[in-house]
Amino acid sequence: MTPRTPKRTPATPPRKSPRRRGAADPAPAVAISPAPGRIELAGERLLLLSATALGQLRRELHEVLGPIMTHEVLFRFAFTDGAMAARAVRARNPGSSPREVLMAGPVFHTLAGMARVAVDALDFESEFRSLRGRWEDSFEADQNLRLFGPVEWTACWVLTGFASGFASEAVGRDLLCVERECRARGDPLCRFEVLPAEGFPGLARKVEALRRGRPISDRMRPAITRLWEGVFTSSTFLARVLRDSADAIISVDADEVIQTWNRGAEELLGYSSREVIGRHFRFLVPPDLVERGELEKIRTVAREQGSLRNYETRRLARDGTELHVSLTRTSIYDAQGRYIGASAILRDITERKRLVEQLIQAERLAEVGELAAHVAHEIKNPLAGISGAIQVLADRTPPDDPRSEVFCEVLEHIQRLDRTVVSLLTLTRRYRPSKTPTDLSLVLDSALSQLRGTEVFAGVEILAEFSPDTGPVPVDPQQFIQVFLNLLLNAAQATEPAPGRPSPPADRRIHVRSRRQGQEVIAEVEDHGAGMSPEVLRQVLKPFFTTRSRGTGLGLPIARRILEAHGGRLVVDSAAGRGTTVRLFLPTS
């Protein structure tokens, strides 16, 4: 009896990713016949290997040949496979243009299970110039991390070889795929670029030989080994310099979208690379600088001059802190001279700016000190005499005499002028605090006792929350009564009702808190007033700066001087429409 011939099961194409616009369809080149156990690509039989098996092969090659020759073997093997795949796509799509065959490559990667390919940019009009993209879920990066852990080089050698072979065959020109970033060495993504091989003189001959099927001669093998050793050494060294630099090194593309973010940037600004790559750089710039168009100005200058060096500006950290930074930006151009992005180096100069401001402040206070001493001598004593004479005249004037009201007003102005002179002397005096363990709540009570009953404090409610772990703090009690007086007076004035529009009672609440944080005690005075604009906030600690018609602009500078004399610091946090919080940081020892 004649045996029956097994019925051939019709080829069942696998499920495909959506076809890319303008790309040839790779699916017709693939045929799966379960009955005879064959998978074919354009008539060529294929073998399915698991990623684990290929990873084991990679490990064996690595142990026997070392990383240099392993790269060479895998690249050459994959180049041939990629060229065959491109020929199969062309054969099954007659009449397709080189560009259409090329754009089938990303879909073919997905069909082969190697990676999902995203094309970011393609320059292929009259002739091919470049293609940039990324491998998502690269099987090689995953393999390498499992087998070897994080390494210092790019590891997608099969993918670069396959892409080089496919692109070279599709376009009919010697092309080379270069992996720019790789998850196996700690980068967020695997990014690649396909470029003409002539841009890599040492590798162009190799690509040409592979495309034409010529083996590498024995004479060329040592040269190739040395070439790849040089590539690995230089790329690894450069990658480590960029990755581990203490300075923040960031790169953006032509649209100001962040592409790379090193460890220095993570430490300076508090964001991990995964959080920022792919986002527009604008979120790191304070709103007032965005409104002024700083980004556009920096970009224009850097493009016109090639770079912008040591530009001092401000940037936002993750916790909302504004950092003063020195920015150096360099424009990046491709081989054809087109602008493709920029690199930026940021250095934290916040502490330097603070020291400079302190030096300027000290010089200014020295000048004010000389002025204050002169004022005290020339004005204070005559003021005392004038005040005494006016007081005598006021005492001799009947209460119903119209001149009595004039005398009282003159005395009030004399007292205000005397307070200004005293404030000047206080601001410029060298503090030598007499520290003693002090309960801050008692200091607050002493300050409140002097303010209760005053016109500005009418209707103000104080809500005090002192943490039990605050404990006694080593301060000069008298000087800190002055600090709380100044801060509470400012807070009360900030919550005063606008003329003709009384404020709700909640707006006149002032919160005073304290807590221990590490080796510091933090005291806060918070109001719910109108707050300050960024311009006012930057000047609020300068002597004589005030927004009130009857203010001297010395309250906060005096408070800061007292804090600094105690080894602490004063920080003002405010925004228009949400009130103001003044924080006092005091060392516990």
pLDDT, tens digit (0-9, with 9 covering 90-100), for 258-301:
988 888 999 999 999 889 988 998 999 998 888 888 989 999 99
Question: DSSP secondary-structure letter at 577?
Answer: T
pLDDT single digits (tens) 523-549 = 999 998 888 888 888 888 887 788 776
Between 374 and 432, the higher pLDDT residue: 432
Mean pLDDT of 574-578: 86
Give every strand in the sheet of 509-517, ordered side by side.
Answer: 461-466, 509-517, 520-527, 580-587, 569-574
Q: What is the pLDDT of residue 2?
A: 40
Please name the amino acid found at residue 117.
Answer: V
pLDDT value at position 74? Answer: 86
Instruction: Indicate the range of 222-236, 305-319, 462-476, 511-525 predicted with least confidence.
Output: 222-236
Q: What is the pLDDT of residues 349-375, one digit of tens each?
A: 988 887 777 777 667 666 666 666 666
Per-residue model confidence (pLDDT) at position 470: 80
pLDDT digits (tens, 9 = 90+) for 393-405: 888 888 888 888 8
CA dihedral defined by 570, 573, 576, 580, rounded to 10 degrees?
A: -70
User: How confident is the prediction for the chain on average, in pLDDT?
Assistant: 79
Contact 134, 190 (CB under 8 A): yes
Poorest-pLDDT segment among 47-51, 214-218, 569-573, 574-578: 214-218
Cα(387)–Cα(383) distance, integer angstroms: 6
Query: In the chain, what are the domains?
Result: 49-235 (3.30.1380.20), 245-348 (3.30.450.20), 353-429 (1.10.287.130), 431-589 (3.30.565.10)
- Residue of higher predicted confidence among 219 and 124: 124
* 319 vs 432, residue with greater confidence: 319
Give pLDDT tens digits for 441-477: 888 888 888 887 777 788 888 888 888 888 888 999 8
Quickly tell me which residue has 């070439």 as its tokens.
227
**Residues 8-18: what's their mean pLDDT?**
41
Angle, vertex CA 541, rays to CA 540 and CA 542, nearest 5: 95
What pLDDT, on a 0 to 100 scale, did the predictor assign at position 572?
92
Terminal Cα distance for the chain, rounded = 104
Q: What is the pLDDT of residue 434?
A: 84
Q: With contact defined as beta carbons under 8 Å apart, do 492 and 525 qualify? A: no
